[in-house]
Amino acid sequence: MIRPILIHPDPRLKKTCAPVDAVTTDIGQLAEDMLATMYDAPGIGLAAPQVGAMTRLLVMDCVKDPAKSPRPMVMLNPVVTWSSEDTSIYDEGCLSIPDQYAEVTRPAKVRVEWLGLDGKTTEEEFEGLWATCVQHEIDHLNGKLFIDYLGPLKRQMITRKMEKLKRELARNA
Active site residues: 137
Mask for 114-143, x = binds Ni ion (CB under 5 A): ------------------------------
Report if residue 27 touches Ni ion, rule: CB under 5 A: no
Peptide bond before residue 70 is cis, with ω within 30 degrees of 0: no
Q: Which of these, 72, 62, 50, lies nearest to 3 by C-alpha position? A: 50
Sequence-ordered strand ranges (E) for the chain: 45-47, 57-60, 73-83, 87-94, 97-107, 109-115, 121-127
Among the listed residues 73, 94, 110, 134, the single contact to Ni ion using CB under 5 A = 94
Q: How far is the CB of 165 from Ni ion (least distance, A)?
A: 16
Nearer residue to Ni ion within complex by CB, 94 or 115: 94
Q: Give the torsion through C-alpha atoms of 72, 28, 79, 64, to 10 deg.
A: 10
Distance CA 16, CA 98 (A): 22
Determine the distance from the C-alpha atom of residue 120 to the mean position of all C-alpha atoms in its chain, rounded to a whole number: 22
Among all residues, whose Cβ is closest to Ni ion? 94
Please check whether residue 51 is in contact with residue 36, taking contact to mean a CB–CB distance below 8 angstroms: no
Q: How far is the CB of 95 from Ni ion (least distance, A)?
A: 6
Nearer residue to Ni ion within complex by CB, 21 or 103: 103
- Choose the stretch contacting Ni ion; rule: CB under 5 A; options: 14-22, 87-95, 103-111, 112-120: 87-95
- Choose the stretch contacting Ni ion; rule: CB under 5 A; options: 7-15, 83-91, 93-101, 158-166: 93-101
Interface ranges with Ni ion (CB under 5 A): 94
